[in-house]
């Protein structure tokens, strides 16, 4: 069993994010899902991103780890990748990271990627944010720095494909991603 800090995307802590966390819990993992938006859920990315900027949700995501043990697995979904990746790189003790639908270059933070911490990254090959904005390139560069790491690319153009409460949800891709994540987490238990 792993202890996981799961950080939500720019639409907020949706029912789909909660359902994703429940799938991990059903496999025996302890999953923390802080609400970085104080109960707000947004229908469009632009609204959620504006709220995230006003409230500095990335910093709130980092602070969500303050009262948790250091040996966590950090999982971020889209916007939640920023604090998840930052915590992995700057907070000692990370066991692993899973970055869903986003990745930033590791030099974006004040510390290099820890060489003993594996990362698994998932996104769609035609997602305009993941594939089109350079996140896929950052993911491929990151796995070269972290032994035992993986990038998984799924056919499709949807962003937030792992959130079952959204029209962008792709059940088959999410099922495969969850299977891969659970296999990836076994060595960290």
- Give residue 169's pLDDT: 98
Name the maximum alpha-carbon separation found in the chain: 39
In this structure, what CATH number is given to the domain that contains residue 59? 3.40.50.1820
Distances in Å between the Cα of 176 and the Cα atoms of 53, 58, 94, 153, 171 are 32, 28, 24, 11, 9
Query: Per the structure block, which two tokens stand in for 119?
Result: 């990362």
Question: According to the model, what pLDDT value does residue 110 have?
Answer: 85
Give the C-alpha separation, 106 to 126, whole Å. Answer: 22
Question: What are the pLDDT digits (tens) for 54-105?
Answer: 999 989 999 999 999 999 999 999 999 999 999 999 999 999 999 999 999 9
| 3-class secondary structure per residue, 31-52 | EECCCCCCCCCCCCHHHHHHHH
User: Can you read off the two tokens belonging to residue 70?
Assistant: 């250091």
* pLDDT for the residue 189: 46
Q: 142: how many CB neighbours lie within 10 A of its CB?
A: 21
pTM: 0.96
Distance of CA 50 to the CA centre of its chain: 20
Domain count within the chain? 1
User: Domain range holding 47?
Assistant: 3-185
The pLDDT assigned to 106 comes to: 86
Low-confidence ranges of the chain (pLDDT < 70): 187-189
């Amino acid at each position: 069993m792993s202890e996981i800090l799961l950080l939500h995307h720019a639409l907020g802590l949706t029912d789909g994010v909660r359902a994703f966390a429940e799938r991990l819990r059903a496999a025996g993992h302890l999953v923390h899902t802080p609400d970085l938006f104080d109960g707000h859920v947004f229908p469009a990315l632009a609204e959620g991103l504006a709220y995230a900027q006003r409230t500095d949700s990335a910093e709130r995501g980092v602070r969500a780890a303050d009262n948790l043990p250091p040996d966590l697995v950090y999982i971020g979904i889209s916007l939640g990748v920023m604090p998840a990746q930052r915590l992995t790189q700057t907070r000692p003790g990370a066991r692993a990271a899973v970055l869903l639908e986003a990745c930033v270059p590791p030099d974006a933070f004040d510390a290099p990627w820890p060489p003993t911490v594996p990362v698994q990254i998932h996104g769609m090959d035609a997602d305009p944010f993941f594939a089109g904005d350079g996140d896929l390139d950052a993911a491929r560069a990151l796995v070269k720095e972290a032994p035992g790491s993986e990038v998984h690319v799924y056919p499709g153009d949807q962003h937030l494909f792992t959130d079952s409460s959204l029209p962008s949800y792709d059940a088959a891709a999410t099922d495969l991603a969850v299977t891969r994540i659970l296999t990836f987490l076994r060595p960290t238990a």
